[in-house]
A and B are shown apart, each in its own frame.
Chain A
Amino acid sequence: MLVDQRESQRQRKNGDLPPDPYLLRIRDLIYKVAGIFQPDGRIAILEERCEERIAELGSGSLKAYYEHLTTSGDRDTELHALLNEITVGETCFFRSQPQLDALCRVALPAIARAKTQTGPREIRLWSAGCSTGEEPYTLTMVLLEEMRKTLPGWELETLATDLNQESLERAKAAVYAEPAVRNVPALFLKKYFQTRSEQFHVTDEVKSKVSLRALNLLDAAGMEEVQEADLIFCCNVLIYFDGAAKRRCLRHFSRILPPYGYLFVGPAESLFGVSEDFRLVHFAGATAYSKPSRTSGSSGLL
């Protein structure tokens, strides 16, 4: 690489120069194909990830790599490899506090109000693509804590599914190292974990609420077996699916969710232009999707 190229790269990373136009094209491509947005604050990370891929492929430049992602025969495989690089290391407990606030302060009370009139006194949650368990256990402990205060006598059931058996085994063990629990508030750490040999074990109380199961979200027969869930969390999973697969999966989600339910995707993930089955809703600091059949009366408080 030429010295002046290195210098411009350094200046770009420091924010002294605008990002390389091909990096912005890659960002737009990722958003268009996968639906995950890389904000300017993460653009340097995106560039690093691209550089890692470029080094592995020997593509030479961002321009050549962009062309690889758009015109080569293995462009889908390469996009998956890049997405893996972008989302790697993001799994931990309490990953998005604004999402948890939206869940407890707005979504849960709204669902409880609807179910008080029509359904059993239970909250059913599905973590679709639960990986090694951090997400379903976080949601379960947060809801247990909240429901003790605001919905005494209500039951909680969590279904957690993933395609990967190895991940599921780790989720079943429910033993985590320090980095995974770095965001866990002290109260939750004390109440819902046991520390043994510098490892953090999720308590039996939480584990007993979570059913772990292998499921491919693209397997129609398997999806048919999933019963109604008031809340679906499917974070950074749909980004790996093509448009048709996304739509198929969302049709199942739509069937599984009642009219008052919510679908939460990753904090930087968008379903824009993918499906008519869901509409974007905003909470303070978080977004989710609801079914369009519901009139939200959004100007007022729920």
Chain B
Amino acid sequence: MNKAKTDLIQARIREIDAIPTVPAILRPLLHYLEQPEDQIEVPKIVELVSCDGSIAAQCLHMANSPLFGRSRAVDTVRGAVISLGVGRLRDILLSCVLVRMVPKAKWLIDPVVFWQHSLGCALLCRQFARKINYHAPEKAYLAGLLHDLGEVVNSVLLPSEFRSAAEKAFSQSLPIHEAELSAMGFTHCESGEILARHWNLAPDIGSVIRHHHDVQQAKLHPVLVALVNLCDLLCRMRGLGYGYYESREVDFLEEPAWWILTKEYPHLEQFDLARFTFEMDEYTTQIRDLVSSVFPS
């Protein structure tokens, strides 16, 4: 991306308040989310949820959803935390916060589809991280959730340019980053990186946002970047993409990201990707329901 474009995005991020309002809640949340599950301070999370009435309401609504198989009513935030468990609540909470980040009218791509992809990628990253013994599955979850933040930037701050890129992707069944590059001269990876810096996100998350479509260029945390790259691709191949058909064939074993991971985790050569794919299909429907319930129809 040239300097003029970078300056333009940075200026728009500074000017528009639609995006920066949320990090007030997001920053402490991100801090807690990086902790191992057994070290998370439940009262802090309860406090955080309670301080925003509408988020608390959404959490309670979801805690009472049949999706989680609750048999008795939950009517307090504390009850929701205990009932759902910190892990599940964290997923719900972060989704709630992120989906409210941008007013619905500002989106060019369907926000429900976008968050289904992001949440799907997050869950898959954590699952895959556990399968291959990656040391920080929660970090992988967070990286998966935030990897496409640049799409938000492009959708909200550069609507006319992004509209033509999205139309090209949809009509030609192209991956969105290829269409962006062709129509805009840069991708959501570059614009996402600018937002990540603006929000002071951790360098590993920044590296994922910047390089999840060109993993071989990732100098920082290439293993995490590779992990997110593969899970992003698998989501797009299994019905959790951007809501359109990508006409492509993927041999995961030929992906540069797979080579990077195999170098770090040699046992991946024996990994049953077919079974992992079938297992992933299990929670595709659950993710769709979860995200849809966050958005008022």
Query: Which residues from B are CB-within-8-Å of A279?
Result: 251, 253
Query: Which residues from B are CB-within-8-Å of A14?
Result: 69
CB within 8 Å of B: which of A195-245?
none
- Within 8 Å of chain A (Cβ to Cβ): is B275? yes
- Within 8 Å of chain B (Cβ to Cβ): is A1? no
* Interface contact A284-B237, CB-CB below 8 Å: yes
- Within 8 Å of chain B (Cβ to Cβ): is A273? yes
Query: Which residues from A are CB-within-8-Å of B275?
Result: 31, 37, 270, 272
Query: Which residues from B are CB-within-8-Å of A15?
Result: 69
* Interface contact A270-B278, CB-CB below 8 Å: yes
Considering the chains assembled together, what is the distance between the CA atoms of A273 and B274 in angstroms?
11
Query: Which residues from B are CB-within-8-Å of A107?
Result: 249
Query: Which residues from A are CB-within-8-Å of B256?
Result: 299
- Within 8 Å of chain B (Cβ to Cβ): is A301? yes
Which A-chain residue is minimally distant from B229 (CB atoms)?
A299
- Within 8 Å of chain B (Cβ to Cβ): is A177? no
Question: How far is the CB of B171 from the nearest CB of chain A, in Å?
Answer: 14
Q: Map CB proximity to B onto A33-51 as digits: 1 under 8 Å, 0 otherwise.
A: 0000101110000000000
Query: Which residues from A are CB-within-8-Å of B173?
Result: 105
* Interface contact B245-A280, CB-CB below 8 Å: no
Which B-chain residue is minimally distant from A296 (CB atoms)?
B251
* Interface contact B250-A298, CB-CB below 8 Å: yes
Query: Which residues from A are CB-within-8-Å of B274?
Result: 37, 270-272, 280, 287
The listed residue with most B CB atoms (<10 A of its CB), out of A290, A298, A300, is A298
A273 in contact with B272 given A37-B278, A39-B279, A40-B282 (CB within 8 Å): yes
Query: Which residues from B are CB-within-8-Å of A186?
Result: none
CB within 8 Å of A: which of B233-259?
234, 236-239, 241, 245-256
Considering the chains assembled together, what is the distance between the CA atoms of A268 and B282 in angstroms?
12
Question: How far is the CB of A217 from the nearest CB of chain B, in Å?
Answer: 21
A281 in contact with B251 given A31-B275, A105-B173 (CB within 8 Å): yes
- Within 8 Å of chain B (Cβ to Cβ): is A106? yes
- Within 8 Å of chain B (Cβ to Cβ): is A282? yes
Question: How far is the CB of B280 from the nearest CB of chain A, in Å?
Answer: 10
Query: Which residues from A are CB-within-8-Å of B238?
Result: 282, 285
Q: Map CB proximity to B onto A259-273 as digits: 1 under 8 Å, 0 otherwise.
A: 000000000101111
- Within 8 Å of chain A (Cβ to Cβ): is B202? no
The listed residue with most A CB atoms (<10 A of its CB), out of B251, B275, B279, B281, is B251
- Within 8 Å of chain B (Cβ to Cβ): is A154? no
Considering the chains assembled together, what is the distance between the CA atoms of A139 and B8 in angstroms?
52
Which A-chain residue is minimally distant from B241 (CB atoms)?
A284
Question: How far is the CB of A160 from the nearest CB of chain B, in Å?
Answer: 25
* Interface contact B69-A16, CB-CB below 8 Å: yes
* Interface contact B255-A298, CB-CB below 8 Å: yes
Query: Which residues from B are CB-within-8-Å of A287?
Result: 274, 277
The listed residue with most A CB atoms (<10 A of its CB), out of B174, B249, B251, B282, is B249
- Within 8 Å of chain A (Cβ to Cβ): is B200? no
A106 in contact with B252 given A270-B275, A282-B234, A285-B239 (CB within 8 Å): no
Which A-chain residue is minimally distant from B66 (CB atoms)?
A15
Query: Which residues from A are CB-within-8-Å of B237?
Result: 282-285
Considering the chains assembled together, what is the distance between the CA atoms of A270 and B254 in angstroms?
19
The listed residue with most B CB atoms (<10 A of its CB), out of A284, A297, A298, is A284
Query: Which residues from A are CB-within-8-Å of B253?
Result: 279-280
* Interface contact B252-A282, CB-CB below 8 Å: yes
* Interface contact B248-A283, CB-CB below 8 Å: yes
- Within 8 Å of chain A (Cβ to Cβ): is B71? yes
Question: How far is the CB of A46 from the nearest CB of chain B, in Å?
Answer: 14
Which A-chain residue is minimally distant from B257 (CB atoms)?
A299
- Within 8 Å of chain B (Cβ to Cβ): is A29? no
Question: How far is the CB of A107 from the nearest CB of chain B, in Å?
Answer: 8
* Interface contact A16-B71, CB-CB below 8 Å: yes
Q: Map CB proximity to B onto A51-68 as digits: 1 under 8 Å, 0 otherwise.
A: 000000000000000000
Which B-chain residue is minimally distant from A294 (CB atoms)?
B251
- Within 8 Å of chain A (Cβ to Cβ): is B16? no
Partner of B249, one of A39, A268, A273, A296: A296
CB within 8 Å of B: which of A165-198?
none
Partner of A110, one of B236, B239, B249, B277: B249
Considering the chains assembled together, what is the distance between the CA atoms of A16 and B71 in angstroms?
9
29 A-B residue pairs with CB within 8 Å:
A14-B69, A15-B69, A16-B71, A37-B274, A39-B279, A39-B282, A41-B282, A105-B245, A106-B247, A106-B249, A107-B249, A270-B275, A270-B278, A271-B274, A272-B272, A272-B275, A273-B272, A281-B250, A282-B234, A282-B249, A282-B252, A283-B237, A284-B245, A285-B239, A296-B250, A297-B254, A299-B255, A301-B247, A302-B249
- A interface residues with partner B (beta carbon < 8 Å): 14-16, 31, 37, 39-41, 101, 105-107, 110, 268, 270-273, 279-285, 287, 290, 295-302
Q: Which 10 A-B pairs have the closest CB atoms?
A: A270-B274, A37-B278, A296-B251, A282-B237, A298-B251, A282-B250, A272-B272, A298-B250, A40-B282, A105-B247
